[in-house]
Each structure stands twice: as C-alpha cells, then as structure tokens.
C-alpha cells in the first residue's frame, strides 16, 4: 500500500478528501488482517486477570508493526494492561484510544470454524473485536498509511468484565494511564444494533452496576421436623417476594433503574432444611449518592424487618459493591467524534441510556472523552454475554476507520 505521509506537519498538506480516501483504503486493505486477529483471539479466550496469551499476541503484533516504522513509540506495561505512546512532537495534544481484551466464563455453542477452544470460556462481549480493530489502526499508523495529527496513547486493557473496583481500567487509571491525556475514547461493538451505525450521546450513557449481597443464618434442621427451627429458604423466599418491585415504591417510573435478583444459593441435600441462604441483587442505576444511600438503607431495613419475624434468624451479611461509576460522555468530545464520523459518511445516531456498565467510566472521570457503540448485528447472533454471541465481522473495518478518523483529525 502506498505510504501517504509520516508526520502531523505533512498531513496538513493533504486535503480532507485525500485523508478520507486514505482511511477508507487502509481500513479495507487491513480487513483480512483484522478478521484474522479477531478469530485468533476468539479461539483462545482468557478470563479477566488471566490474559497472558492475549497480551503475548498483542506484544507480537505491536512489535511487528513498529519494527520498520519511522515513528516514535514507547511501550509501557502495568498491572492493568499495555499501553503504547506514539509521539509525533512534544507540543501536540495526546489522545487516548482504549480496547479491552478479556473474555467471559461462558461455554460457546456457535458452530463456525473459529469457536472457542477453551472449555467454559468465550469472547461473548466483543473484546476480541475491540482488540483486533485497535491493533489494525495501530498498524496503519505505524506503517505510515495514515498520518496522525496528535500524539496518541493506545491502551490494551485487561479485566473489564470483573464489574468492581479492581478492574483493569481502575488500576490503569490509578497507575497514570490518563496522565498527560487531553481526551480519551472507547469503542464497543453492539451485536443488537444496526450494522455499521455508530451510537453515543453526550452526558450520562452507561449506568453504575452496583451489587447487593444478602445472607441469612438460622437453625435449619431435618425436613421431617419443619416445626423445629427455621428453614433459611423460607426466609429468603420472603425476602425475594417482599423486595420485588420495591424500587417503584420509592422512585417514579421516570427514574431509570433496574433491581433484580441474579444469584441465589442455599441447600445441599434433600433431607436437610438449610441453615444459610444467600442472594445477590443487581442494582443498575443512575443515582446520585444521596438517592443511592436512600434506596440501599430502605432495602436493608426491609430485610431486617422480614428476618425479625422468623425464630432464631439473623442477617449474617449485607454487603454493597458499588461497581463502576456512571459513564458520562463529555459533550464537546462527543461532538468532535460525531463530526469526524459525518465527514466520511458514517451513520451516527443518538443512543439511549443503557443499563450496561463499563470501566471506561474511570478514564472519563479523569479526562474528557466519549464512549461509542458500533452496530454489528447479523442474523442468528444473540445478545452480549450469551453462548450464541457472534457480531458481524463486516463491522470491523468500520471500527478501524473510526480510530483512524480520530487519529487524522486535530482534536478540539
């Protein structure tokens, strides 16, 4: 492929039409490479904090792309992943591009040739796509096919799927991945969204995924003597019944909120009334701290009231894990990306509030930026986090173009 330019200054000499044509050519030229990397990752998925093989592949591809490049790159490794700094000069702003790399504990039931070869583990959220798209964009820039107008930090982040404070994003932000960054951007495929369409919105976009764990302890006993002592399952059944719909007793329908039981554990044998039961509730919300505290306190008081009606029963655990912060897009950054996408003719649509969460929210707490969803629907693909998840690979070249567009435009 013909090299266009190799520096931000030289890029200024190209017309917008020439830049956009170069982006189209680069993303199409690299399509087979992007698909190949995605499939290799898909066949060898790794759970959060176990992504050593994935990181090895990323290092391999980064080194191959950098090997004959005339640009200046610096590779950093931290607990949360790998980031690579491209520096075109000491005066330009630095923007951050992030891809997450971990998989999920799901047994894949797809039947194509590149299904997961790891029992019980699957790329069921699209992180294999995210990694492949950013590696392709990196390759195009390193080889001089597309000239960046900014310094760029390419981030390949571990452990997005853990859902709590010890995620890869949280650790990278703690370790300085946002230091010196002017704006940060994330891209996620959306398997239920129209192919090739980009979605985002200014302000709040993704929720705070809090979990509430409740455990009760009581006497238990023999199933032959239900009149002696208390069955923990009975207690938990009452809790489930009484908490159903409690959120709508406190907040109006206009308050976006999900509160559902997601884990239930009790009992070991058919002849034993269990003395312990545990339930986990998923609380997906856009609460202020005050509203959240009000809701959680009300839930706890309700649980304690229920428990008090049973003999020899106590609340042995009531634990709240706050999860990722609400993801809030900077309006100016969102407009910057929208304008970039519009110049190349990509469809952009406003997204709705989503009860999904993403630890890219930690980045956006530190620096302005925006998070985007790329539609990747195809027939037969089920939703994220399912065994039949299979986003349309036709979307990959659009994701590569997304990164190249941002790299080739002067940020606000």
* Contact status, residue 153 vs residue 339, Cβ threshold 8 Å: no
Pick from 2-6, 82-86, 207-211, 364-368: least confident: 2-6
Predicted TM-score of the model (pTM) = 0.92
Is there a single domain that holds both residue 201 and residue 215? no
Give CA–CA dist 52/67, Å, rounded.
22
pLDDT band at residue 411 using 50, 70 and 90 as cut-offs: confident
Give me the pLDDT at residue 342, please.
95
Give me the mean pLDDT over the 284-309 stretch.
Answer: 96
Tokens of 270: 């058919």
Q: Which of 81, 126, 18, 157 is nearest to 399 (CA)?
A: 126
pLDDT top residue among 7 and 226: 226
Classify 153 as helix, strand or coil: strand
69 and 121 assigned to the same domain: yes
> What DSSP character marks residue 401?
H
Identify whether the C-beta of residue 353 lies closer than 8 Å to the C-beta of residue 208: no
Digit-coded pLDDT (tens) for 43-80: 999 999 999 999 999 999 999 999 999 999 999 999 99
Alpha carbon distance 375, 394 (integer Å) = 10
Q: What percent of the chain has pLDDT over 90?
A: 93
242 and 94 within one domain: no
**Average pLDDT score over the chain:** 95
Examine residue 2 and state whether it is found in any structural domain, yes or no: no
What is the reported pLDDT for 352?
93
- Residue pair 208/285 in contact (Cβ under 8 Å)? The answer is yes
Q: Are residues 201 and 248 in the same domain?
A: no
Domain boundary among 261, 292, 321: 321
The whole-angstrom separation of Cα 145 and Cα 135 is 14
What does the alpha-carbon distance between residue 183 and residue 179 come to, in Å, rounded to a whole number? 11
pLDDT at 165: 64
Reference 262, options 211, 322, 209; nearest CA is: 211
Structural domain contains residue 236? yes
Per-residue pLDDT at 7: 42
Residue 175 and residue 74 share a domain: yes
Q: How far apart are CA 399 and CA 402, in angstroms?
A: 5
Q: Is 132 among the domain residues?
A: yes
| 87 and 180 belong to one structural domain | yes
Instruction: For residue 3, tell me if it sits in a domain.
Output: no
Q: Is the pLDDT of residue 10 over 60?
A: no
Same domain? For 163 and 174 the reply is: yes
CATH number at residue 117: 3.40.630.10
Query: Residue 378's domain spans which residues?
Result: 8-206+326-407
CA 193/CA 386 separation, integer angstroms: 16
Q: Which residue has the tokens 């990181």?
A: 55
Residues 231 and 307 in one domain: yes
Secondary structure (DSSP) of 296-349: HHHHHHHHHHHHTTSTT-EEEEEEEE--SPPEEE-HHHHHHHHHHHHHTT--EE
On whether residue 340 sits in a domain, the answer given is yes
**pLDDT for 172:** 97
Model pLDDT, residue 6: 40
Count of the separate structural domains present in the chain = 2
| Percentage of the chain modeled with pLDDT above 70 | 96
Q: Which of 291, 321, 351 is the last residue of a domain?
A: 321
272 lies in some domain: yes
Residue 1 in this model has a pLDDT that exceeds 50: no
**Mean pLDDT, residues 344-364:** 96
CATH number of the domain enclosing 242: 3.30.70.360
* Residue-level pLDDT at 12: 53
How would residue 127 be classed by pLDDT, with cut points 50, 70 and 90? Answer: very high
Is there a single domain that holds both residue 214 and residue 353?
Answer: no
Query: Is the pLDDT confidence value at 13 over 90?
Result: no
Q: Does residue 118 belong to any structural domain of this protein?
A: yes
Does residue 76 sit within a domain?
yes
The three-state DSSP-derived secondary structure of 22-75 is HHHHHHHHCHHHHHHHHHHHHHCCCCCCCCHHHHHHHHHHHHHHHCCCCCEEEE
Statement to judge: residues 267 and 161 lie in one domain: no
Last residue of a domain, one of 306, 321, 336: 321
Residues 287 and 332 in one domain: no
Q: How many other C-beta atoms can be found within 10 angstroms of the C-beta atom of residue 53?
A: 14
- Mark whether 251 and 221 lie in a shared domain: yes
Which one is predicted more confidently, 385 or 6? 385
């Amino acid at each position: 492929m013909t090299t266009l330019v190799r520096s931000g200054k030289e890029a200024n000499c190209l017309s917008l039409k020439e830049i956009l044509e170069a982006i189209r050519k680069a993303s199409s030229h690299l399509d087979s490479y992007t698909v190949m990397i995605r499939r290799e990752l898909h066949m060898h998925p790794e759970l959060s904090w176990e992504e050593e093989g994935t990181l090895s592949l990323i290092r391999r591809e980064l080194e191959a792309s950098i090997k004959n490049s005339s640009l200046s790159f610096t590779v950093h490794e931290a607990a949360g992943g790998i980031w690579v700094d491209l520096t075109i000069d000491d005066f330009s702003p630095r923007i951050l591009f992030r891809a997450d790399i971990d998989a999920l504990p799901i047994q894949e039931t797809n039947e194509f040739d590149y299904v997961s070869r790891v029992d019980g583990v699957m790329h069921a959220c699209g992180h294999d796509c995210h990694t492949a798209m950013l590696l392709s964009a990196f390759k195009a820039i390193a080889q001089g096919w597309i000239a960046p107008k900014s310094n760029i930090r390419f981030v390949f982040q571990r452990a997005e799927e853990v859902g709590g404070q010890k995620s890869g994003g949280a650790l990278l932000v703690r370790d300085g991945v946002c230091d010196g960054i002017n704006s940060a951007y994330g891209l996620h495929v959306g398997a239920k969204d129209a192919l090739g369409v980009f979605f985002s919105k200014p302000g709040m976009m993704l929720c705070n995924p809090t979990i509430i764990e409740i455990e009760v302890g009581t006497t238990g006993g023999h199933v032959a003597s239900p009149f002696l002592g208390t069955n923990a399952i009975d207690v938990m059944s009452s809790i489930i019944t009484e908490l159903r719909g409690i959120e709508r007793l406190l907040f109006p329908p206009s308050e976006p909120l999900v509160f559902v039981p997601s884990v239930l554990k009790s009992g070991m044998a058919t002849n034993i009334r269990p003395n312990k039961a545990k339930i986990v509730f998923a609380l997906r919300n856009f609460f202020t701290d005050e509203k959240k505290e009000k809701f959680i306190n009300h839930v706890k008081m309700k649980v304690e009231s229920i428990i008090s009606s049973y003999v020899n029963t106590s609340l042995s655990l009531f634990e709240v894990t706050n999860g990722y912060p609400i993801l809030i897009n900077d309006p100016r950054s969102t407009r910057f990306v929208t304008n970039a996408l519009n110049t190349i003719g990509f469809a952009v649509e406003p997204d709705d509030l989503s009860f999904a969460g993403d630890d890219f929210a930690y980045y956006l707490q530190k620096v302005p930026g925006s998070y985007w969803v790329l539609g990747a629907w195809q027939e037969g693909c089920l939703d994220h986090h399912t065994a039949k998840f299979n986003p349309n690979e036709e979307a990959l070249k659009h994701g590569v173009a997304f990164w190249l567009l941002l790299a080739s435009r002067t940020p606000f």
